[in-house]
Amino acid sequence: MSIETQPFEFLDAIQHWGKAVTAFLVLVIIAACGLSLLTHGKKGPVMVLRWIPRFFADLLQLSPRRVYAIAQLTFREAIRRKALVVFGMFALLFMFGSWFMDNPNERMDLQVKNYISFVLTAITWLLLPVVLLISCWGLPEDIRNRSLHTVVTKPARKTEIVIGRMLGFSSLMTILVVVMGATGYIWIDREVAHNLTVYSQSFERDGQETLVEYVEGNEGVTVRVTAGENPTTVTTAPTRQALRQDNPDLFNLTELARVAALKRHLVAKRPVLGTLSFKGADGSPTELGVNTGDIWEYRTYIAGGTQWRAIWDFENITEEVISRAKGLRLESSFEAFRTHKGDNIQASLLLQYTLVKIDRSVFRDSNDRPVSAAVVRKTGENSFEATVDGQVMPVTPVPVSAHELMVKGNTYVLVDDPDVVVRVISKASVPLPSFNISEFGENVTLIPSQIDYYDQNSGERRQLDLIKDLVNDRQELRVEVACLDSGQYLGMAQRDLFVQLPSNSFAIGYAKAICGIWLMLGLIVVIGVTSSCFLKGPVSSLLTLVMLLVGQGFKAFLEKIVEGDVEGGGPIESVIRIIRQINLTDDLPETTFYSTVKSIDSFLNEGLFIVENIVPDFRSFQMDSYIANGFDVPWSQALAPSIGVALAYLVPCLIIAYYSLSLRELEHK
């Protein structure tokens, strides 16, 4: 699961979108002028330029009534084409899905993850072909059947036809998504409640803490209740119904515990994620931990009983965050790698957190240029100087945030300028009590706002305020994680430790994930209707499908090719390496032939750059990993980018569809 920690910047996205769309339209106009010059002579470019303002004039005279009428007609046509048959397939999946997914020996959290992933995947892949086909075949079929002629002969504008088509198909798609999403939510809730046969839940009842432990198996039902300091009572019954009839008060108590346990499994956590780095055996920063030989490189490890530390730098740790959670709640899910059994292979590893107040600053000269801390000297209590290009000049430390830094060569450097070393100073350090971790469960540590600890340097007990004494001026806090068991290793990934805010309702997080599916299908409708304005149904479907496949599965690989991060060079260079059996890491000979090959690959990469920017990034609509792993779908990192991608393609597609439909010969089948 990949989680973006930085918020989506709408202003930067709008500026990038404006430049990209302007460049695309200019290229289209130049190409159209060149083509018209060849076909119509000098009058051709003039005709093209006269066509440009027609779209805006047509848009200003748009009639909502005609758009609604066309949308209503489109909606009815889609229903007549039996688009609702998808409900039958959806119902079959949910009728028999639990037969293949229920596993009484599997952990409950894994079952919940499977249920959620199954529902969201089923909704997506059942609706995708339906939406793709009806949006790509609707307009070509109307032209073939000549039913569109009854529309264009009326006072209906081309923009009204295009917008009406998009709204009609989107309305049908919205109904399908809402109904299937609601059905999926009910199914998830039912399946989780049905399979929750073992739980232990504590809650406050009648002014005292009550612990209810419930176990339901083939031998019957066993309930253990511990209320406050009272002795534990154990009650058994042959079945759940028998417990309800014989002891209704105890049954109601188990129901309260069951509801609370359901909320613990069906949850939308709101994490504050940090920036992960490591501290090596010599105490210096390092980008990655120890490689234990695991093929899956999602986690790297720290060695126990050494100076190895995993470091999380959290931002936005405000007093409001602390007060709302009644302290700082740290949740972790680490993974152990054992090199020996020890006394008990089942024993969990011993872990310790250390809270550190960090001061990060980059030195800048009088021209606001960054200067590496490696060449800076301290001349006074708060004054510094550096020698740059043979000149001695005063420099000033400027605070920087954790996400602006990365580790390179055992030092912290700027992400934007890796040659600039940043000064990182530890001002205060508080070790917390050690504890044993649960490798396959939640490890929640509540750190109070007032921390009482033993200071080894002074030999006295001290008390520090979490906000005032440990969080720096930029509202950042560092947490160092150490494994105390010698010879053992503890695996770390970015999302394995986070600050937990009060959780949202599962229904809210689930609705956001459904909204992501709706936005993706809406973009498919827009692309499908646009392509159908200048292509026939089969070709339009193929074009839309290719854009979906490239934007969903090959976008990352395409970005690597364009950025030159793929080993072996461009396509022609890769073919030559295969034929001549040249290793990917070997440099090619400095000859004219290979220089020409690299130049051609560079030219081809420019074409791939255009393709990369034209194809939508459908990865931004993938929100099922958030809710399936128990996290809420964040607005700024997930929903905002998906909304931005959907809106970014709406205006260009509308322009392309208008001119394509205006220039198309409707009599041509």
Q: What is the pTM of this model?
A: 0.80
Question: Residue 184 has which token pair?
Answer: 């999926």
What pLDDT, on the 0 to 100 scale, is given for residue 152?
Answer: 53
Q: How far apart are CA 515 and CA 539, in angstroms?
A: 29
Encode pLDDT of 633-665 as tens digits: 888 778 888 888 888 888 888 888 888 887 765
Q: How far apart are CA 113 and CA 110, in angstroms?
A: 5
Q: How far apart are CA 457 and CA 270, in angstroms?
A: 37
Taking CA atoms, 483 is separated from 519, 523, 576, in Å, by 44, 48, 49
Q: Please, what is the Cα angle at 415 between 414 and 418, to 5 degrees?
A: 60
Q: Of 504, 501, 498, which is closest to residue 330 (Cα–Cα)?
A: 498
Query: Which regions of the chain are under pLDDT 50?
Result: 1-2, 666-669
In the chain, the amino acid numbered 488 is: Q
Helix (H, G, I), strand (E, B) or coil at 63: coil
Mean pLDDT rounded to a whole number for the chain? 82
What pLDDT, on the 0 to 100 scale, is given for residue 1?
Answer: 47
Q: How far apart are CA 424 and CA 373, in angstroms?
A: 10
Q: How far apart are CA 463 and CA 486, in angstroms?
A: 30
Sorted by sequence, the CB contacts under 8 Å of residue 337 that are 6+ apart come out as 292, 294, 301, 488, 489, 490, 491
Encode pLDDT of 450-482 as tens digits: 888 877 777 778 888 888 888 888 889 999 999
What pLDDT, on the 0 to 100 scale, is given for residue 5?
Answer: 52
Handedness of CA 604, 605, 609, 614 (dihedral sign): positive
In the chain, the amino acid numbered 580 is: R
223, 246 contact by CB (below 8 A):
no
What pLDDT, on the 0 to 100 scale, is given for residue 614?
Answer: 82
Question: Residue 132 has which token pair?
Answer: 């793709």
What pLDDT, on the 0 to 100 scale, is given for residue 341?
Answer: 63
What pLDDT, on the 0 to 100 scale, is given for residue 356?
Answer: 92
Rounded to 5 degrees, φ, ψ at 535 are: -130, 160
CB burial readout 268-293, b (16+ within 10 A) else e: bbbbbbbbbbbbbeeeebbeebbeee
Question: Residue 620 has which token pair?
Answer: 């931004």
Rounded to 5 degrees, φ, ψ at 532 are: -70, -15
What pLDDT, on the 0 to 100 scale, is given for residue 668?
Answer: 47
516, 351 contact by CB (below 8 A):
no
- State the Rg of the chain over Cα: 31
What pLDDT, on the 0 to 100 scale, is given for residue 526?
Answer: 93
What pLDDT, on the 0 to 100 scale, is given for residue 669?
Answer: 43
What pLDDT, on the 0 to 100 scale, is given for residue 580?
Answer: 80
- What is residue 404's DSSP assignment? G
Q: Of 127, 222, 108, which is closest to residue 181 (Cα–Cα)?
A: 127
What pLDDT, on the 0 to 100 scale, is given for residue 667?
Answer: 45
| Domain positions in the chain | 10-193+504-663, 198-270, 299-492
What H or E segment, with its residue span, contains residue 267? strand 267-273
Helix (H, G, I), strand (E, B) or coil at 505: strand
CB neighbour class for 641 (10 Å; exposed up to 12, middle 13-18, buried from 19): buried
